[in-house]
Amino acid sequence: MRVTPWQLAEALGLPPPTDEQAAVIAAPPGPTLVVAGAGAGKTETMAARVVWMVANGLVAPDEVLGLTFTRKAAQQLTTRIRTRLARLAGAPLVRELDPSGRLRGLLAGSEPEISTYHSYAGRLLSEHGLLLPVEPNATLLTETQLWQLAHRVVTAWDGDLDTERTPVSVTEAVLALSGQLAEHLVEPEQLAEAHTELEKLVFTLPAGPRQRGGPNQELQNIVAAQRERVALLPLVRRLAEELRRRGALDFGSQMSLAARLASEHAEVGRAERTRFRLVLLDEYQDTGHAQRILLAALFGDLDSARGAMNPAAPEPDTNEPSPSRAEVREAEGNVSAGQEDPSVDSTAGRDAGEPTMPEDAVRTTDAQDDSAPPEGPRQAEAWRSGAEPENDGESVVRDRLAVTAVGDPMQSIYGWRGASAANLPRFATDFPSAPGVPAPILPLLTSWRNPPEALDLANLVAEPLRHTEGGVSVDALRPRPDAGAGTVALALTETVAVERDWVAERIAAEWEAHADAGLPPPTSAVLVRRNADAAPLAEALRERGLPVEIVGLGGLLATPEVADVVATLRLIADPSAGSAAVRILTGARWRIGVTDLAALARRARELSIVQPPDRTDAITDGAALADALRSVAPEPAEQAGLVDAIADPGAPDNYSQAGYQRIVELGRELTALRERGGQSLPELVADVERTIGVGIETQARRAAAGGGAGREHLDAFSEVVAGYAADHRATLPALLTFLAAAEEVENGLEPGEVEVARDRVQILTVHAAKGLEWEVVAVPHVVRGVFPSGTAAGTWLGALAELPTALRGDRQREDARDGVPVLDLSELYDRTDLEHAIKQHKEALGRRRVDEERRLFYVALTRTERALFVSAHHWAETGASPKGPSDFLLELKHAVEAPDSAATTTVRVDHWSDPPAADAVNPFTDNPASAQWPRDPLGKRRAAVEQGAEFVRTQLLELAREQSETSTSGEQLALFADADPDAVDPDDPEGWAADVDALLAEFLAAADTVREVQLPEQLPATALVDLRADPAKLAARLRRPLPYPPSPFTRRGTAFHAWLQRWFGATQLLDLDELAGAQDISSGTDAELTRLQEAFLSSPWANRNPVEVEVAFETSLAGTLIRGRMDAVFAEPGGRWLVVDWKTGAEPTRAEERAVSMQLAVYRLAWARLMAARTGADETETLERIGAAFHYVRTGRTIAPEDLPGPRELERLIEKAAPAWTTPPEDDPA
């Protein structure tokens, strides 16, 4: 029985695929290039192809390899495939396909390998690296670690070096050159000889007409740059030697070594082709040359890959006539995908017959192939309905390797970091269907994301790129059949300030429209070409009351919350860290004004002047002269800084009352942190975060309702610190040096991954936006010199870090004209010809750069789901000349205004300012901008926030009065009444009395007997354990929520859980109350992490593959929203499921078992509701097929209670406490 893509979708409860998607899903084994436009559903189609091939017995789940670029993309693809395979395992269709149960067993016992390209290369080196040889356990260095090593190599170099550059500049050039050599698989010896012909021509060609003397300055500079590049090669070799000596690799050498391994050792490819029968290559247009060689050598034409490794090798002869289709069919026995009869519609014959699949169909090696869409309406109809097609005498090998590459040449925007747009068209010859026969190309051109209006503009922008010579020909994207109308508007304003206001007003109007309709805010993004444009746009949005997040600009270290943590660490370690002190002093928390800051600086100078007790003003000898000079200009080691002045601010009269109190309080914090400086680096960073309150502030500012969002960057920074701390030599000063290098080398480290958010407007670069989508998108500043960028890109003619284009693996070829242009040195008769050739070469490189900018603009326009706003301005805040709209925006406007354009009625031009007069002056010249400093973090919201704070204080005072009537006396009331957080007592500038009053108020409030606590609208699933075991304890915690104290046990559970996530391939972030170990009744000692890992690996769970891991859920019980996250869900025989929660603590006592089981009961119910929602099955029936268990890792026991409470019992538990319940007096109120 053959299952069609439509039958499979129906069986899994999924929407039916389009004809285009079905052609990709059911493409026969063999290589296939899928050109998937923006928003065309490529991830869903790739997942469906896996499930279709598994369902039809063409591959087993563990014979599938999927490669993509980011961990996030790999996780998304993994989840999509796991979900589809899990549905297939539970679908009745499986029993029809395979009554023997073998297919169900495969689905339960195996799963695909989904990885990033770099992780896959690392795996190959670890398994086969000794063939090169490379140590299997080689350490992979980060960019910063590599920079530090390269800088040591450069500064320690004692040989000749013909350059005048600084050590830092030389380090950067050596690293970039090393990376280019690795990426393009070029040996240093090849580079050393690459410029010889050019240099010879420069100095030997005769002068041309009207030329005198020798080569001009431009030619001499070009030759000098080539020589200087060659002069760096000894340093490049020394760096490579150091890496080998240390057993270390960088990302570039990891990929190049993997490519060499695959191309030089055919047995590696044979092993991988035996292991995998379906290979998915995602975002293929973003692969580099080394990745292309690696993949082609493993899964394509090995000879072609070997030839492409050597830049000097002759190009393959592409003029041989291609065999006819009949010859290909005769040679290969395969029908090219995408050639089915167009008259066949997608709704025909969906009812499958009853024939069963033979027991050996899962791994048949020689059978009739009916997977290819046959030619002719009659056979096509049979194929689509699942019936056996007529035998036309064609026989194929069922287990032929299937390689499906997915990419979009319109979205190749990462050339600046090694990606090659030429790889996509070269796939067809790197992975031929048969010798000399290119792989078939299938399109996915229906956009499921963009409204028709935005799609029209995006197609217009991409038109010049659509049919490039030698490239992949791509037709225009089309909207989905039921696509609704979108909102698209263009604008050109007089000034950049007016443009920002226009953007902010348009987005604010969209938010207001949603609010008026009772809808949540639309997801919204502002996509910028330059980082510098983000902050002013954010301010314009905030002025209209919109919450804003600047995503990832400037790197992790530039995010405000991380910058505050790092500045505090610098103050702890370095008293001379003046810039860090200014950041903290003038930041949102302390807001020290200019006058107080000046007084603090004077105090620092006073502390720098050390007056000996017996010193006189007379200078009588050399020692007295040295003392006098030192008092005027002290040595750096003797000079006090702002940090010293914070610790000893001097007389309070020198400062304002509020300023002095804040400085003293900051000094106390820093002193306390220094006293706790003996902690490990991760513990110290967590301590700093907790002390300065940045984590809570970040969550309060940006968190989605109950989602815990907003900690992404802090969590990412914690991971960086933890990774650095793994080095036993790690100290705080060393960490700060590492971070300073990372700020320069890695652009401040990679920020934490940020998902599209509904509760804020996100501002990010277009590059960072690729792969994401929002309902509302604005693309501002489409002006000349900005978009497209006017920054001149370095070329190999002058930049040391660039390889000569003739050495690049993606260079232009006769059969691939979209490669990197190569300088043509043929048929040159004099220096005029040479200068003309160089000029043409530069122009070709410039056109290539503009093409990449055009693709970037296309990406920006295709991020929207509904509304798109594109704008520009004439006058920027600086510059004597106006900018004006770039060609990109003018193309859109001209298209909108064209008489025969459909966009004339659907795209609005809100405003289009006339060009300034020739003698116009920049209006910003006479109107300089001014701003308050330090900046008020509340801005225009201050009055409203202060009013709200006053209301809260009034309510607290009223509550204190009511409580004083039945419990304590007026003493407590007086303490509440006096509690003004902003008040400064002139007699107590350091605030000791206020602290005592606050502690007494807390003591008296805690001394009350019984309190009523209202059940909140949301509870974590683990709270039901306390609700069942000790309601008073839960009530006390809800009444007075406090963070969990630092605990090695919780950290141990967290570390184990993170390790377990990596084991199962999950990457989701956890909420604070979901940390592994946080709910364990007890835990072990600090030495137990390794034992916990070993215990898990020896358990049967280590050999099982969960269907899903880290499953977040929200479900309602008795009107209360219960939130949680299931650790893992496993498929069980008979269509059953088992939810497993990992426990690192001790097993509960018998008295505690019933309470602890409440957690499992909620998980079981949540999974039942999730499955019922996905499949449409009855919730009650689904619940009966689900079990739940705790696995106690330390003891190896799995406890699965048989009588878990059902939904009604859980509801009664909550209803019993819903009105309110009371808390007893606390034993220790302090």
pLDDT digits (tens, 9 = 90+) for 1151-1195: 677 777 888 888 989 898 888 877 777 888 889 889 999 998 888
In terms of domains, do 623 and 720 share one? yes
39 is in an annotated binding site: yes
Q: Is the peptide bond before 788 cis (omega within 30 degrees of 0)?
A: yes
Residue 709 has a pLDDT of 45
Does residue 5 lie in a domain region? no
Which of 231-240, 462-471, 630-639, 1109-1118 is predicted most confidently? 231-240
464, 466, 468, 474: CA torsion to nearest 10: 180
In terms of domains, do 159 and 239 share one? yes
In terms of domains, do 1092 and 1208 share one? yes
Q: Given pLDDT bands bounded at 50, 70 and 90, which one contains residue 384?
A: very low
1151 is in an annotated binding site: no
Which range is least confidently modeled, 351-365, 672-686, 878-892?
351-365
3-state SS, residue 549: strand
Which of these, 354, 157, 319, 307, lies nearest to 239 by C-alpha position?
Answer: 157
Longest CA span, the chain: 115
Residue 1181: give its domain's CATH number. 3.90.320
Q: What are the CA-CA distances from residue 149 to residues 181, 294, 963 (Å)?
A: 18, 27, 66
In terms of domains, do 31 and 78 share one? yes
Which range is least confidently modeled, 74-78, 751-755, 1052-1056?
751-755
Q: Given pLDDT bands bounded at 50, 70 and 90, which one contains residue 836?
A: very high
In terms of domains, do 291 and 431 share one? yes
Last residue of a domain, one of 950, 975, 1008: 1008
**Alpha-carbon span 985 to 658, nearest angstrom:** 9
3-state SS, residue 137: coil
**Alpha-carbon span 728 to 941, nearest angstrom:** 48
In terms of domains, do 586 and 665 share one? yes
Last residue of a domain, one of 986, 1008, 1030: 1008
- Identify whether the C-beta of residue 858 lies closer than 8 Å to the C-beta of residue 458: yes
Residue 74: give its domain's CATH number. 3.40.50.300
DSSP state of 1197: E
Residue with tokens 């008795």: 1118
Mean pLDDT confidence for 134-147: 83
In terms of domains, do 1140 and 1093 share one? yes
- Identify whether the C-beta of residue 667 lies closer than 8 Å to the C-beta of residue 675: no
**Contacts with 932 (C-beta within 8 Å, 6 or more apart), sequence order:** none
**Alpha-carbon span 88 to 84, nearest angstrom:** 6
Is 524's pLDDT higher than 90? yes
Helix (H), strand (E) at residue 864: strand 864-875
Residue 1025 has a pLDDT of 65
**Alpha-carbon span 523 to 404, nearest angstrom:** 33
41 is in an annotated binding site: yes
| Domain that includes residue 70, residue range | 18-121+271-311+360-372+393-444
38 is in an annotated binding site: yes
Does residue 438 lie in a domain region? yes
Does residue 130 lie in a domain region? no
- Annotate 484-544 with three-state secondary structure: CCCEEEEEEEEEHHHHHHHHHHHHHHHHHHHHHCCCCCCCEEEEECCHHHHHHHHHHHHHC
Residue 607: give its domain's CATH number. 1.10.486.10
Strands 441-444, 446-447: parallel, antiparallel or unpaired by DSSP? unpaired
- Identify whether the C-beta of residue 479 lies closer than 8 Å to the C-beta of residue 878: no
In terms of domains, do 1038 and 950 share one? no
Does residue 710 lie in a domain region? yes
In terms of domains, do 958 and 1043 share one? no
Residue 597 has a pLDDT of 86
- Identify whether the C-beta of residue 1024 lies closer than 8 Å to the C-beta of residue 1162: yes
- Listed in order, strand segments (DSSP E) in 181-287 are 248-249, 278-281
Last residue of a domain, one of 246, 261, 295: 246
- Identify whether the C-beta of residue 531 lies closer than 8 Å to the C-beta of residue 492: no
Does residue 378 lie in a domain region? no
Which range is least confidently modeled, 606-610, 618-622, 1123-1127?
618-622
- Greater confidence, 337 or 186? 186
Residue 505 has a pLDDT of 95
Q: Is the peptide bond before 934 cis (omega within 30 degrees of 0)?
A: yes
- Identify whether the C-beta of residue 431 lies closer than 8 Å to the C-beta of residue 296: yes
Residue 510 has a pLDDT of 94
In terms of domains, do 886 and 834 share one? yes
Q: What are the CA-CA distances from residue 352 to residues 7, 11, 386, 1011 (Å)?
A: 7, 11, 5, 66
**Contacts with 226 (C-beta within 8 Å, 6 or more apart), sequence order:** 194, 195, 198, 199, 804
513 is in an annotated binding site: no
Which of these, 49, 44, 7, 47, lies nearest to 24 by C-alpha position?
Answer: 49
Residue 88 has a pLDDT of 84
What φ, ψ does residue 1120 adopt, rounded to 5°?
-110, 135
331, 337, 342, 348: CA torsion to nearest 10: 110
331 is in an annotated binding site: no
Is 1084's pLDDT higher than 80? no
Does residue 567 lie in a domain region? yes
Residue 381 has a pLDDT of 38
Whole-number mean pLDDT of the chain? 77
**Alpha-carbon span 895 to 456, nearest angstrom:** 10
Outline where 1089-1149 has alpha helix (H).
1089-1097
DSSP state of 450: S
In terms of domains, do 432 and 298 share one? yes
Does residue 337 lie in a domain region? no
Does residue 385 lie in a domain region? no
Number of compact structural domains in the chain: 6
In terms of domains, do 538 and 587 share one? no
Q: Given pLDDT bands bounded at 50, 70 and 90, which one contains residue 1070?
A: very low
Q: Given pLDDT bands bounded at 50, 70 and 90, which one contains residue 370?
A: very low
Note the pTM of the prediction, 2 decimals: 0.67
**Contacts with 1159 (C-beta within 8 Å, 6 or more apart), sequence order:** 1021, 1022, 1024, 1025, 1079, 1124, 1141
Q: Given pLDDT bands bounded at 50, 70 and 90, which one contains residue 930?
A: low
